[in-house]
Structure 1
Amino acid sequence: MAGDQLIRPVGEPTRRDWIAVMSVMLGAFMAVLDIQITNSSLKDIQGALSATLEEGSWISTSYLVAEIIMIPLTAWLVQLLSARRLAVWVSLGFLISSLLCSMAWSLDSMIVFRAMQGFTGGALIPLAFTLTLIKLPEHHRAKGMAMFAMTATFAPSIGPTLGGWLTENWGWEYIFYINVPPGLIMIAGLMYGLEKKEAHWELLKSTDYTGILTLGIGLGCLQVFLEEGHRKDWLESSLIVTLGSIALLSLITFVIVQISKPNPLINLRILRNRNFGLSSISSLGMGVGLYGSIYLLPLYLAQIQNYNALQIGEVIMWMGVPQLFLIPLVPKLMKFVSPKWLCTLGFGLFGLASFSSGVLNPDFAGPQFNQIQIIRALGQPLIMVTISLIATAYILPQDAGSASSLFNILRNLGGAIGIALLATLLDARTKTYFDYLREAVVPTNPQVAERLASMTDRFGSDAAALGKLSDIVHQQALIMAYNDAFHFVGIALGISMLAILLTKKLPAGLKAGEAH
């Protein structure tokens, strides 16, 4: 493929270009942050809105569903409205919906406002990716991807910590108020940095409405299927079966329609591009690793170690803070080491951290996780800065929007699929290990008999002693299940590493990461 056919802007980026890129990165950071920031405050929000635990889960689900529907529509909306008009409109929408969330008067109103927030925020993530490709030449691309990595890895890492701190000290409303100052800065930067262009309303006549409809329904139903499936016991629920069936049929129809159209909504043919296809597999695995780790660690610390939100946040910060210093260094490393090998190393370190987390015992708490978190913090930036470069190295300019949509959808779906599988795995393995351990804990065993006698003396009755022993056995079964879950994450990251190893050599400019 000829070099001049690749995404390769001519000339140095202007000050306005940099301001535009940094502004949309700020928006993407806020959008990703808002996925995680509510999780540590859900109990407070549920209490304020008189919602049950199951009802409250829709506060997160509604955001994620709306976000994943919007991501693939962004490329089409940029063509229709222009990047400037779309970016400013969705930024305003994100800001307004954030304020509305803080003023929600019922669960229904909160779900609606969170969906609005997810829909508008969903455009900011692929916009950041796309503007990096079309505004920055190759020798500055690594810097742009470093900023994008900040949104993808640092934001989820600090989300629970920031949410817990704000809720504890100011109230849950402030997890939404916090969007206002950076939101205003973002809008001003976008209005200054992006040039005005005419809208192309004539595109409405040739729009692939079948593709929009089938993809929107398919992704929306799939996201709800994954988010709510575990809570409703999967195929035992007629709702989940229906949603899964609709998602499957819609997405199959979408693929057939897209392949048959000369100008599809999303050009799925780019998945045949070796680097993009393999990097997409790795992006899926990265989603499992990133969101799966952020799901498992707080849950373990809360269930087994009885940590509160602030204590959990302190542990997670050991992964978040180092990335602030490491991410800017990755483009400099690329002057000496190929992005392919840096990405491979990143997956290796992240996988090592996951397998190292799978040696839990009742005494394995926050301090024991600190070194593991640092290893994870070393790996994640190496992946996120380089994987986007590897994926887009041979993508044509007209396919930038499709590449952005697919890449971000797959990472988000990786997270949703990973969390759904991990939640199911935890339940299933806990039951299996509990049954196994219970068979071993019998009164005829001298050690068990001695322990029971000691506990009976301590608690004053056989029933209380047996109850406590059952709790200990259940806790041990749960710890063993968490070990399996962390191993599962490590395997997903290992597969991602192998996929990166199979990608081909990058163009010289990207490989060197030169800064002219």
Structure 2
Amino acid sequence: MTSLTKAALPAAPLDGARIDARTWIAVAAGMLGAFMAVLDIQITNSSLRDILGTLSATQEEGSWISTAYLCAEIVVIPLTALFTRAFGVRYYMIGTTALFLVFSTLCGAAWNLESMIVFRMLQGFTGGALIPMAMTLVMTRLPASKRAVGMAIFGLTATLAPAMGPTLGGYLSELYGWPSIFYINWVPGVLLIAGMAYGLAPEKPNFKTLFNADWLGIALMAMGLACLTIFLEEGNSKDWFESSFIVTFAALSLVGILGWVALSFTRPDPFVNLRLYGQRNFLVATVLSAVTGMGLYGSSFLLPLYLGQIAGYTPMQIGEVIAWVGLPQLLVMPFAAALSSKVDNRILCSFGLLLFGGSCLMNAFMDASTGYDQLMVTQVVRAIGQPFVMLTLSNFAMAGVAPKDMPSASSLFNMTRNLGGSIGIALLATALSVREHFHSARLGEAVSNYALPTQQRLEQLTQGFIAGGVDPATAANQALAVVDRIVRREAYVMAYNDGFWIIGIVLLACIGAIWLADKVKSPGGASAAH
């Protein structure tokens, strides 16, 4: 296996080696691919209503459009190490991107919900590989001294794309119709293929690795991760363990993941090396990557929902608010990269978590009038913090990993972050509905027909409607409906605040966990662990 690995993935250049323009173009193309794949996870969210209208589907059925993509993506990420050994980096990247573009086009041309779900699943399976491959290119094609720059750009793909997905989707849908959110992939896709064809030398494929692969382990992994994603994505809408459907998928995910782990530790050459979790830095980094994934995708899930439901913003207006969590990162990331090779990364990560968690706690004091002006500050604070977190966690994960294990390390790190995102959204969606019911009940107790302020408010509203020409009986009913809407709105605002409290507290708690890792300064194999 080692010889095959070396054939597909040459050792990284020695520190101080000159990197030519072709290599930089290949790395940049890889980053473009990762950005495109992460972007497509959430790009359908702001356009979902239009898509469902065209495909004649309900909101609940429509959730499978995102679930199908996530399932396929999470399954293919651990397989990239195997496919890289079998096809070589160049052919695999070009082939999987070409297929991604074909399936993206078919998504835009989908004729019913079923076809859309199938094409989204195939799109996820081909696009998911692009995420870990970008990280692998940084670690194997750049010398240690240049990896801070590479990891900084990779960190941007992880933090910018979830923020820009709903923004870009909203703009494109409003201007050109929802199919354009899929057709736009041709722009970065063609650039990626050209960059890989020019920047990477062809490698001789080694198909023997596919025949000798642990296909039982792969099947168990696919079943476990896909069922876990379905369990997390569909659990809230189906009332979790009250549903036999959810219980079934929870059981299948448990069987699949435990079986995969057991087989991996009994085989000398597993398709992905789970023994990496035995390295303390890697374990701490991947666990925190999952938790920050919860924060990253969770905040990108809560804020657009709040702005659409409470503030009544259009997708384009929501995009303008969300953009403030993206744009400052372009300025912050080079600064974070420069510091990462000079300052203990535990300090930088703690600083990032403090700002990221703090911005979520700032969002936990919203009211029904909160909008663009009030949210801009919290978005900028979050934008300053996120690059420090994502860059340093990547450095911790890859510190001291042997060249032959780079594809496995990259796959597991990115898989864990995506899983964390799914867990975060599932927990927050459940917390949102549970807390909304709780706050509705509590507010309902205070705003009762027997309370004098309520009676006075109802009387004022009723008289207002009567003055507008409505008969007294209808006016009284309309006044009740107005008060009921206000109570529901306030209950939702309080529930959104609770969601941000949860994210903020969890992120701040991670500051203690990062100090369990060893000291790391420079990225990659040259990291000094003390």
Give the C-alpha shift of residue 446 in structure 1: 2.4
Give the C-alpha shift of residue 105 in structure 1: 1.7
Q: 1:472 aligns with which of 483, 486, 492?
A: 486
Contact 1:142 1:513 in 2 (8 A): no
1:506 paired residue number? 520
Point out the more displaced range, 452-461 or 287-296. 452-461
Give the C-alpha shift of residue 339 in structure 1: 2.5
Give the C-alpha shift of residue 464 in structure 1: 2.1
Give the C-alpha shift of residue 168 in structure 1: 0.7
- Residue type of the partner of 2:454? V
The answer as to 2:109 corresponding to 1:95 is: no
Kindly report which structure 2 residues correspond to 1:477-496, keeping only aligned pairs within 5 A, or say none: 477-496=491-510
Q: 1:277 aligns with which of 278, 283, 306?
A: 283
2:304 paired residue number? 298
Q: CA RMSD in A?
A: 1.8
- CA 1:509 to 1:370, structure 2 compared with 1: closer, same or farther past 3 Å? closer
Q: Distance in 1 between matches of 2:527 and 2:229?
A: 37
Point out the more displaced range, 120-129 or 259-268. 259-268
TM-score for the superposition, normalised by structure 2: 0.92
Q: Distance in 2 between matches of 1:317 and 1:513?
A: 34
Q: 1:319 aligns with which of 312, 325, 330?
A: 325
The answer as to 2:143 corresponding to 1:171 is: no
Point out the more displaced range, 425-434 or 258-267. 258-267
Q: Distance in 1 between matches of 2:482 and 2:464?
A: 11
Give the C-alpha shift of residue 237 in structure 1: 1.9
* Percentage of identical aligned residues: 48
Aligned length, in residue pairs? 508
Give the C-alpha shift of residue 483 in structure 1: 1.1
Cα distance per residue 1:438-496 (max 9 Å; x no partner): 11222332222222221222234332222221221111111111111101111221233
- Residue type of the partner of 1:437? L
Cα distance per residue 1:69-127 (max 9 Å; x no partner): 11010011111111111111101111111111122222222111111111110000010
1:9 paired residue number? 13
Q: Distance in 1 between matches of 2:79 and 2:518?
A: 30
* Deviation >4 Å, runs of 4+: 507-514
The answer as to 2:453 corresponding to 1:447 is: yes
Q: Distance in 2 between matches of 1:468 and 1:304?
A: 15
The answer as to 2:203 corresponding to 1:189 is: no
Q: 2:237 aligns with which of 218, 231, 240?
A: 231
Contact 1:339 1:511 in 2 (8 A): no
Q: Distance in 2 between matches of 1:238 and 1:301?
A: 34
The answer as to 2:428 corresponding to 1:422 is: yes
Q: Distance in 2 between matches of 1:360 and 1:485?
A: 11
1:13 aligned counterpart, secondary structure: coil
Cα distance per residue 1:201-223 (max 9 Å; x no partner): 22234211121000001111111
* Unaligned 5+ runs, structure 2: 1-10, 467-474
- Residue type of the partner of 2:200? L
Q: Distance in 1 between matches of 2:355 and 2:113?
A: 41
Q: Distance in 2 between matches of 1:507 and 1:283?
A: 18
Q: 1:57 aligns with which of 58, 63, 68?
A: 63
The answer as to 2:41 corresponding to 1:41 is: no
Q: Distance in 2 between matches of 1:491 and 1:141?
A: 32
1:3 paired residue number? none
The answer as to 2:374 corresponding to 1:368 is: yes
- CA 1:128 to 1:510, structure 2 compared with 1: closer, same or farther past 3 Å? closer
2:127 paired residue number? 121
Contact 1:279 1:499 in 2 (8 A): no
Q: Distance in 1 between matches of 2:279 and 2:18?
A: 28
Q: 2:114 aligns with which of 108, 118, 121?
A: 108
1:4 paired residue number? none
TM-score for the superposition, normalised by structure 1: 0.95
Q: Distance in 2 between matches of 1:133 and 1:228?
A: 36
- CA 1:337 to 1:234, structure 2 compared with 1: closer, same or farther past 3 Å? same
* Unaligned 5+ runs, structure 1: 1-6
Contact 1:338 1:512 in 2 (8 A): no
Contact 2:41 2:66 in 1 (8 A): yes
Q: Distance in 1 between matches of 2:154 and 2:524?
A: 16
